[in-house]
Amino acid sequence: MDELRVFVCERLHAITTQILGAIEKTISNYEEETSRLKEENDRQRALLDNVLKTKIPRIKEDDELCHRRYLDMSEWEKHGSDHGTKNTSAVYANPHVSDSSPACGARDAPNHSIDLQHVFTSRTDFLTFAKSCDCRDCPYCLNRTQATETHLIKKHFLCAVRFAEDGTEKFVVPCTCKDRIQNRSHWHCPTCRKIIFRKCNFEVHLSKQHKYTILQESQDTE
Ligand SMILES: [Zn+2]
Ligand SMILES: [Zn+2]
Ligand SMILES: [Zn+2]
């Protein structure tokens, strides 16, 4: 009987050791796999961060536009269908649709630049637009700056890039909005929405990409 007990004990011990060994091996395989996946994950996240950093303003704009179009459409369907043309004005009164005033609270809205008009045909249009912001701050400056005529003219109008499109003289004012870090002034292309840093690069962009004629001086700088 003792012999049998010893035999059983030995067999059990051997089997237990074998099973535990197998479990340990499996776990260490999993651990290796996990750490490999984690590294891969980190690498891809860094890659994605990089891509997003360069692409995000554009993506946000597109998103916002789609979303807005969707809202406009549903708004239209909601009101337009039951009251005929009566509610057309309500749809246009929607602040998202209206282009008549700059986006206020620019500092809270990272997407303000899409709502913000950057291209004008006259100095008066520009001043009227820039001053119409309810908060009375310059809509083109990230730092709170009063939208005084002196500021608007000196910082934006005089630095504007002037060009002719189909014979119409237009100009794009520079801004330092949230779209780009470091408070660097930049120009928003009114045609393709690209954001360009240097004035000369923006001029090249307008003439090469969009075939506009760059004008050096404006007639109404006075
Ligand atoms: Zn400003
Ligand atoms: Zn901007
Ligand atoms: Zn462009």
Ligand nearest to the CA of 203: 3
ipTM here: 0.90
Ligand 3 centroid vs 80 CA: distance in angstroms? Answer: 35
Could you list which residues have their CB under 5 Å from ion ligand 1? 138, 140-141, 145, 155
Ligand 3 centroid vs 98 CA: distance in angstroms? Answer: 23
Nearest CA to 138 out of 150, 121, 120, 123 is that of 150
Ligand nearest to the CA of 156: 1
Residue range 166-181, pLDDT digits in tens: 889 999 999 887 766 6
Work out the burial of residue 156: count CB atoms within 10 Å of its CB; fewer than 13 is exposed, 13-18 middle, 19 or more buried: buried
Could you list which residues have their CB under 5 Å from ion ligand 2? 113, 175, 177, 179
Give the domain ranges of the chain.
Answer: 99-215
* Lowest mean pLDDT, pick from 52-66, 99-113, 158-172: 99-113
User: What is the model's pLDDT at position 162?
Assistant: 95
Strand, coil or helix: what is 180?
coil
Ligand 3 centroid vs 116 CA: distance in angstroms? Answer: 16
User: What is the model's pLDDT at position 133?
Assistant: 76
User: What is the model's pLDDT at position 58?
Assistant: 61
User: What is the model's pLDDT at position 97?
Assistant: 42
Name beta bridge partners: 161.
Answer: 172
Sheet with 161-165, strands from edge to edge, namely 119-120, 168-172, 161-165, 213-215
Distances in whole angstroms, Cα of residue 56 to Cα of each of 107, 109, 114, 143: 17, 15, 13, 22
Ligand 1 centroid vs 92 CA: distance in angstroms? Answer: 28
Ligand nearest to the CA of 206: 3
Ligand 1 centroid vs 147 CA: distance in angstroms? Answer: 7
